[in-house]
């Protein structure tokens, strides 16, 4: 995600960066070279200025010399008019030349001082030259010459002025040379910088072109992948415009509606599939999808496809925007649910048949329960008669009955009592399957301790009647509080613990262990283990059947209904029960109750 953000930022700033690079390449070197060139030109101008000053000084010095020569010639008595004309011309040129020199050296205060002094002396020399030209005595001529070459001497001033200008010329020439050298090197550096920046720009343009080519390649690959996926999907897909013309469809759509894949012209939807899409309801729904943005979800439509078979189609459509179009289009998917509808119809028929079978089985179960309950109650009266008359017959005969008669009467009485016990157990078993369960919080620990106390009390009663009682080592682990039917769970513990006590009667001491483990799914796994006689696992399947016994009744009394009752209760609670054993090494009975979320606590149920 961060990489994509960086890429988008780079693309966004790419054009400004290129423009900035071009500005650096073109404008900055131009401005620098221009500035450096102006500096160099300024240095050259100052050199030329110094040369002009020097030239003007030489010109002025030459004019002074010419003035002196003409003045001396005229003072010597010459009357040549040409000399007087030259004198006037020279005088006329001296003043402008002096002003020009003053203007040229205005930037140098030191030179201005020398020019001021020079101007004063030149004026004196002009005055001397004029006096010589007007004619003088020899003595006056000598005095004027002494003033000219003594008092008003300008040679030293010109020498100092020229020395100063030559010094400035040397400095300015050196500065101009440095500027020109600097311009050359800076121009070379600017050229190298331009070449470097141009190379960077070319490299960036190359990278941009590579990125563009890579992006176009990725777009082409993505488009090809998307098209391949669309064409590979077995669900028909079609893209429609506002006029319900087909813009694109996949192979599955073409195969279903006998359209040729790859048509370049746009067909109308109602012209495809030999009229399969001419239903005005479908056209209205699709128009609403395009016009109002309503989505078409799981709309069932029965149509006859190109193969002449009526099919039930499930339609889904929604509006979308394509990047290459201004108007909206509709993407529609078509699913053939004909097989599902047929399966649902078949399942509905099977469910109705199953409901009929369930009603029949329920009726049969009610009849069987009624029959067992009726038989159990109807058998009680004959049994009471048999037991009662056997007892009366024994008292009536008294001591006159022989030993065989006594034996017969005892067999009749014991058989009647056994039959009564069987009937009671049958009634309990019947109630376990018929009565509604009352789910509530049941403390398994308390139930086990109550059952143990009852079994211990029975053993003590048997011992009081002279029956030998064995010692039992009870090992009861902590047990949880669960949601169940308390009476039914009491029956479960009574049967399991009672069997453990009964079948471990010949062990001294007998060890009975009760344990519980919580399973990964939240269920509870209970186990009751004893060190009794055990049984062969080959016959384990018979343990939980009614009247099924693996030991003789004479060795271990019982009716064979207790474990069947355990299975019925555990099954009704949604659990399972099984047993493990090794002959003469004891047995372990297991039952698992499901997680509490799977047991409804809000109502009773059958």
| Other Cβ atoms closer than 10 A to 447 | 19
pLDDT digits (tens, 9 = 90+) for 205-217: 788 888 888 888 8
pLDDT recorded at residue 75: 67
Collapsing DSSP to helix, strand or coil, 83 comes out as helix
pLDDT digits (tens, 9 = 90+) for 42-54: 766 777 777 777 7
Which residue in this structure is represented by tokens 């000399």?
Answer: 83
CATH topology of domain 341-434: Helix Hairpins (1.10.287)
- Alpha-carbon distance 283 to 268, whole Å? 11
Instruction: Name the residue ranges covered by the structural domains of the chain.
Output: 2-196, 233-336, 341-434, 436-598
Mean pLDDT split into 10-residue runs, the chain, 606 residues:
46 64 66 67 72 78 76 69 76 79 76 75 74 69 67 69 74 74 76 76 81 83 79 83 83 73 58 78 84 82 75 86 80 85 86 84 69 65 72 74 74 70 64 67 91 84 65 90 86 87 84 91 91 79 63 56 80 87 87 74 34
- Alpha-carbon distance 396 to 405, whole Å? 12
Global pTM reads: 0.41
For the four alpha carbons of 286, 287, 288 and 292, in that order, the dihedral sign comes to: positive
CATH topology of domain 233-336: Beta-Lactamase (3.30.450)
- Alpha-carbon distance 602 to 69, whole Å? 147
- Alpha-carbon distance 102 to 122, whole Å? 13
pLDDT digits (tens, 9 = 90+) for 486-497: 888 888 898 889
Contacts of 468 (CB under 8 A, 6+ apart): none
pLDDT recorded at residue 2: 45
479 vs 38, 142, 570, 588, CA distance in Å?
A: 105, 156, 17, 17
pLDDT recorded at residue 433: 58
- Alpha-carbon distance 73 to 79, whole Å? 9
- Alpha-carbon distance 20 to 468, whole Å? 112
In the CATH scheme, what is the code of domain 436-598? 3.30.565.10
408-415 LR contacts (CB < 8 Å, sep 24+): 412/386, 412/387, 413/387
pLDDT recorded at residue 477: 92
- Alpha-carbon distance 411 to 387, whole Å? 10
Closest alpha carbon to 19 in 189, 201, 202, 196: 201
pLDDT recorded at residue 605: 32
Q: What is the dihedral of CA 281, 287, 292, 296, to 10 degrees?
A: 60
pLDDT recorded at residue 93: 80
CATH topology of domain 2-196: 1.20.120
């Amino acid at each position: 995600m961060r990489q994509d953000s960086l890429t988008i930022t780079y693309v966004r700033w790419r054009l400004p960066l290129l423009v900035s690079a071009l500005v650096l390449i073109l404008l900055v070197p131009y401005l620098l070279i221009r500035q450096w060139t102006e500096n160099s030109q300024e240095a050259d101008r100052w050199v030329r200025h110094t040369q002009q000053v020097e030239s003007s000084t030489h010109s002025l010095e030459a004019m002074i010399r010419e003035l002196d020569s003409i003045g001396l010639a005229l003072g010597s008595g010459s009357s040549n008019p040409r000399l007087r004309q030259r004198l006037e011309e020279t005088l006329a040129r001296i003043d402008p030349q002096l002003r020009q020199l003053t203007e040229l050296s205005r930037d140098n205060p030191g030179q201005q001082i020398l020019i001021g002094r020079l101007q004063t002396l030149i004026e004196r020399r002009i005055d001397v030259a004029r006096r010589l030209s007007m004619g003088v005595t020899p003595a006056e001529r000598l005095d004027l010459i002494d003033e000219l070459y003594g008092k008003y001497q300008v040679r030293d001033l010109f020498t100092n002025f020229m020395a100063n200008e030559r010094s400035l010329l040397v400095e300015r020439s050196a500065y101009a040379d440095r500027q020109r050298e600097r311009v050359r090197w800076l121009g070379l550096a600017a050229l190298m910088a331009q070449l470097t920046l141009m190379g960077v720009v070319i490299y960036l343009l190359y990278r941009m072109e590579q990125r563009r080519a890579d992006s176009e390649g990725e777009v082409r690959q993505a488009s090809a992948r998307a098209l391949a996926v669309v064409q590979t999907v077995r669900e028909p897909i079609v893209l429609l415009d506002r006029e319900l013309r087909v813009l694109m469809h996949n192979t599955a759509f073409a195969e279903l509606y006998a359209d040729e894949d790859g048509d370049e012209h746009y067909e109308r939807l109602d012209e495809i599939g030999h009229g399969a899409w001419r239903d005005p309801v479908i056209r209205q729904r699709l128009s609403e999808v395009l016009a109002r943005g309503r989505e078409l979800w799981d709309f069932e439509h029965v149509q006859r496809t190109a193969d002449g078979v009526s099919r039930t189609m499930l339609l889904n459509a929604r509006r979308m925007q394509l990047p290459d179009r201004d108007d909206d289009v509709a993407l529609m998917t078509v699913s053939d649910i004909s097989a599902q509808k047929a399966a649902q119809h078949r399942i509905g028929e099977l469910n109705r048949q199953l409901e009929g079978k369930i009603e029949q089985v329920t009726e049969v179960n009610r009849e069987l329960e009624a029959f067992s309950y009726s038989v159990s109650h109807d058998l009680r009266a004959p049994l009471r008669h048999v037991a009662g008359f056997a007892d009366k017959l024994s008292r009536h005969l008294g001591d006159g009955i022989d030993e065989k008669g006594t034996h017969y009467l005892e067999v009749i009485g014991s058989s009647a009592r056994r039959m009564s016990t069987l009937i009671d157990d049958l009634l309990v078993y019947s109630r376990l399957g018929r009565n509604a369960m009352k789910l509530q919080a049941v403390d398994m620990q308390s139930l086990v301790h109550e059952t143990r106390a009852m079994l211990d009390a029975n053993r003590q009663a048997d011992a009081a009647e002279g029956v030998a009682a064995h010692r039992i080592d009870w090992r009861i682990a902590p047990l949880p509080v669960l949601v169940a039917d308390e009476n039914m769970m009491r029956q479960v513990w009574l049967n399991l613990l009672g069997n453990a006590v009964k079948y471990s009667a010949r062990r001294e001491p007998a060890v009975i262990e009760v344990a519980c483990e919580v399973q990964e799914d939240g269920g509870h796994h209970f186990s009751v283990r004893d060190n009794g006689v055990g049984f062969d696992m080959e016959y384990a399947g018979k343990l939980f059947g009614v009247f099924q016994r693996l030991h003789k009744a004479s060795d271990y009394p019982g009716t064979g209904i207790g474990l069947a009752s355990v299975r019925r209760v555990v099954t009704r609670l949604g659990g399972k029960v099984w047993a493990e054993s090794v002959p003469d090494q004891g047995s372990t009975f297991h039952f698992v109750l499901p997680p509490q979320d799977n047991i409804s606590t809000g109502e009773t149920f059958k």
